[in-house]
Amino acid sequence: MGTEWKITSDRPIYLQLTEQIVQRIVSGQYPTASRLPSVRELAVEAGVNPNTMQRAFAELEREGLVTTNRTAGRIVTEDKEMIENIRGQLAAQKIEEFLEGMQLLGFTGPQAAKLLTQYAQLHPSLEEMKSEELPENKTSADKMEGAL
């Protein structure tokens, strides 16, 4: 069901955990206003030190994406707007990376966009998967434009 935790060797572990938790929140794996698994559970799942996982959560709390409720543990923010914003920013980053890569291959922006559309049409499964996973395509596309 969920994505696997991936830890690379070049960057601080807590940062990588933070990014992956954010990814899980924006993709809806951890839905808005839902209760998050405990630090200990997640630490075991990711195979990392519980204190490192704790630090990742502290980071998310500081950003306001996660709040701590004394009785109910940690909860994903109810602020859909905020989640959508972050999702838009992340999408913008991915697109920039893609366009940079295409530029290295000698494609202009519009050419790259055309190729992307063609590719998506040739691979309908990808399209389906996407629209299933991302029910709020329209809003995040709007946000993305803003971020770009």
Residues that bind another protein (CB under 8 A): 7, 9-15, 40, 43-44, 46-52, 55
Which amino acid, one-letter code, is at 13?
A: I
CB of 68 to another protein, least distance (A): 17
CB of 70 to another protein, least distance (A): 18
Contact assessment for residue 17 and residue 50, using Cβ atoms and an 8 Å cutoff:
no
Query: Among all chains, which residue has been given the structure tokens 């830890």?
Result: 7
CB of 38 to another protein, least distance (A): 12
Which amino acid, one-letter code, is at 55?
A: R
Which residue, 3 or 121, is less far from another protein as judged by CB? 3
Which residue, 48 or 86, is less far from another protein as judged by CB? 48
3 state DSSP class of 67: strand
Closest CA to 82 of 32, 131, 35, 34: 32
Which amino acid, one-letter code, is at 39?
A: V
Closest CA to 45 of 32, 36, 34: 36
| Tokens (6 digits) for 79 | 């602020």
Which residue, 27 or 52, is less far from another protein as judged by CB? 52
Which residue, 28 or 50, is less far from another protein as judged by CB? 50
CB of 40 to another protein, least distance (A): 7
